Structure 1
Amino acid sequence: MNPTAPPATGVRTPWRQLPLYVREGVEDALGAPVTEAVTQHGGFSPGVAARVRLADGRRAFVKAVSAEANPGSPALHRAEVRNAAALPDSVPAPRLLASYDDGAWVALAFEDIDGRQPRVPWDAGELRSVLDAVDRLSRVLTPAPVDAPSVAEAVARPFRGWQRLVERGAQDDGRLDPWVRRNLPALAELAAPWPQYAVGDTLAHGDLRADNMLITADGGRVVFVDWPHALRAAPWFDLLLMLPCVRAQGGPDPEDVFTTQRVGRAADPRGVTAVLAGVAGFFVRGSLQPDPPGLPTLRAFQAAQGAAAVDWLRKRLGPALP
């Protein structure tokens, strides 16, 4: 099975539709007026996402959101301000130029990267470049240079997805895969010890997908964008979390990829299976929730990631769960 994820899409607001006082606040933070703004599509952030040109000739990438667009997004933007400001220069990520926060609207301005997202369905050569960059990222970010939360704290509730489905009696939910319905209590038990394996002192991005990466025009360097979910975890956590999405967007078998990567080969196989069970439960349960404001394709995207994660988990388990 090779499920297909829909485009990662947030409802974008053009720069000129921002309240005037917010635009002026961002311009003051940047030190020059915006003379041109081009909305960028792709990715799950609602609100403004625009490449802008300033009156003094400089360029920047600006994103801005209020709770009206999505109640949880301002908190994520604030977290990204903290994380982006703390990332060392050795990390291939855009530099934070300025931020604005009036309590209702939160905006960030980054250096504008001349690049594009990886092609999906995935191109084999671009995926190889991304995998190499993810490996380098885990080296650069070990030990974690940023005071980020532990994975055991940051995703403790989301990774209990199977258990939460058991608690609400979801064995009869026809939206679930028959294998999942049949094995739901066993999946919850399998995922239960995931924190003891996922913890570590590597700073993980926590949300690696094609729409959170750019391949630069000047040599194909991979740059990782959108860091609100950064956390401390095992060095292989980012790779494992990324691969179901890669599979759902036309990429290769995740087991084949994971076991050929340096961090994957070094990981405890039992721990990988437990964490993968937690990841699969997170995606599957998430896909069953109502659509959040401003993110019309998120649940379908999670469903495709969940299907890919479940397929991977079944492959690792073999006949242990019929």
Structure 2
Amino acid sequence: MSPPELPPVPYHASAQRPSWSALPAELRAAVAERLGSPVVTARVAGAGFTRGFAAVLDSADGGRAFVKAAPAVEQPHLVDWYAREAAILDRLPVDLPAPRPRWTLSAAGWFVLCTDAVDGHTPRLPWTPAELDATLAGYAQVAAALADPPGELTALGLPHLADLARSDILWWEEVAAGREPTPPLRAPLLGRLPELVELESLLPRYAAEATGLIHGDLRVDNVLIGADGRAWFCDWTWVCSGPAWFDLAGLLLTAYASGLDADRLFAAHPATAGAPVDALDATLAALAGYYLTGAAAAPPTASPHLPAHQRWSGEQSLDWLARRQGWR
């Protein structure tokens, strides 16, 4: 095993969000009314990379809920994301390890999504065996359930990973054409741009063959380890048609950075059954380009820690790929 290389800021402390008391009084009153009791404590979520409000709210009657909220004028993209997530959560199979939706509301110019609260924590890095095993087992359940998704979920007209790859994920071709600046690369990798372009180009072709749905944004900050040790999966905004091994590769970046045998973990997981032999390489090439170019163009509405995390994720993707390809 290699020594772990931890992210620049822990995932459980990557967010920058408003406090409950900073929200408009009219909004707080509307949320409390919908909860049926005044809010007595609010524990703001430390994980994530948006500036939207997100917290576990405890009410005076002993109730507990998780609430996300965003202002329509200042953060319309977050409003769209939360509304999309609400529609997806409402249609996910009920036995998946995902928070169940309760309600949405619009008040004081804000949109609010309320779900069941999960009593848990972001997985610790380096990964502990128990938490990694629970997360991989939980994702196996998710992948199996979404391999043949319910009709009401597919009826939402969710995007396809193959199209998302072409429009938003593949960036090495843009770098090679001079339309995007070359991100900082270690000397042994400076001459590998043609190989990176070729590998990432495989992703949309492979993804087009998939018929199931995937989470689409499976990072460690979208996982919670419950009090019983079970893994829960959050932030379902980016569900799309695609192969489950794409989710798995993104999740295992932190296993690779933890010094674990990520190749073995990927190959042994049920989500990789039937995957092309170079599916992992294609995904790592695409993720490396996506993260490294994105680090230089993070939106101002995101957490200030996002660029550093994108850069770190891109470096881990590229390092893992370089080791697999013998580019040392």
| TM-score, reference length from structure 1 | 0.89
Pair 1:216-2:226 in alignment: yes
Q: Distance in 2 between matches of 1:251 and 1:24?
A: 48
Structure 2 counterpart of 1:187, from 183, 186, 196: 196
Structure 2 counterpart of 1:237, from 240, 243, 246: 246
Contact 2:165 / 2:203 at 8 angstroms: preserved in 1? Answer: no
Cα distance, 1:204 vs structure 2: 1.1
Which aligned segments of 4 or more residues in structure 1 are displaced greater than 6 angstroms? none
1:58: which partner in 2? 63
Q: Distance in 2 between matches of 1:154 and 1:44?
A: 20
Aligned 1:149-228 pairs, distance under 5 A = 149-168=159-178, 173=182, 175-199=184-208, 200-217=210-227, 219-228=228-237
Q: Distance in 2 between matches of 1:192 and 1:267?
A: 16
1:299: which partner in 2? 307
Aligned 1:8-23 pairs, distance under 5 A = 8=11, 9-23=14-28
2:320: which partner in 1? 312
Which amino acid is the alignment partner of residue 305 of structure 1?
S
Cα distance, 1:233 vs structure 2: 0.9
Further displaced range: 263-272 or 56-65: 263-272
Which amino acid is the alignment partner of residue 99 of structure 2?
P
Aligned residue for 2:173, secondary structure, equals helix
Cα distance, 1:88 vs structure 2: 1.6
Q: Distance in 2 between matches of 1:124 and 1:132?
A: 12
Pair 1:79-2:120 in alignment: no
Any gaps of 5 or more consecutive residues in structure 2? none
How many residue pairs align between the two structures? 317
Pair 1:287-2:295 in alignment: yes
Q: Distance in 1 between matches of 2:287 and 2:168?
A: 9
Structure 2 counterpart of 1:142, from 127, 132, 147: 147
Which amino acid is the alignment partner of residue 202 of structure 2?
P
Contact 1:291 / 1:298 at 8 angstroms: preserved in 2? Answer: no
2:283: which partner in 1? 275
Pair 1:258-2:256 in alignment: no
Contact 1:197 / 1:275 at 8 angstroms: preserved in 2? Answer: no
Cα distance, 1:134 vs structure 2: 1.1
Aligned residue for 2:65, secondary structure, equals strand
Which amino acid is the alignment partner of residue 134 of structure 1?
Y
Further displaced range: 223-232 or 149-158: 149-158
Contact 2:99 / 2:118 at 8 angstroms: preserved in 1? Answer: yes
* C-alpha spacing 1:140/1:76, structure 2 compared with 1 (3 Å): same
Q: Distance in 2 between matches of 1:174 and 1:221?
A: 38
Any gaps of 5 or more consecutive residues in structure 1? none
* C-alpha spacing 1:103/1:36, structure 2 compared with 1 (3 Å): closer
Contact 1:151 / 1:233 at 8 angstroms: preserved in 2? Answer: yes
Q: Distance in 2 between matches of 1:154 and 1:187?
A: 18
Cα distance, 1:176 vs structure 2: 2.6
Pair 1:46-2:57 in alignment: no
* C-alpha spacing 1:198/1:27, structure 2 compared with 1 (3 Å): same
Q: Distance in 2 between matches of 1:232 and 1:209?
A: 18
Cα distance, 1:42 vs structure 2: 1.9
| TM-score, reference length from structure 2 | 0.87
Contact 2:39 / 2:60 at 8 angstroms: preserved in 1? Answer: yes
Contact 1:59 / 1:112 at 8 angstroms: preserved in 2? Answer: yes
Cα distance, 1:30 vs structure 2: 3.3
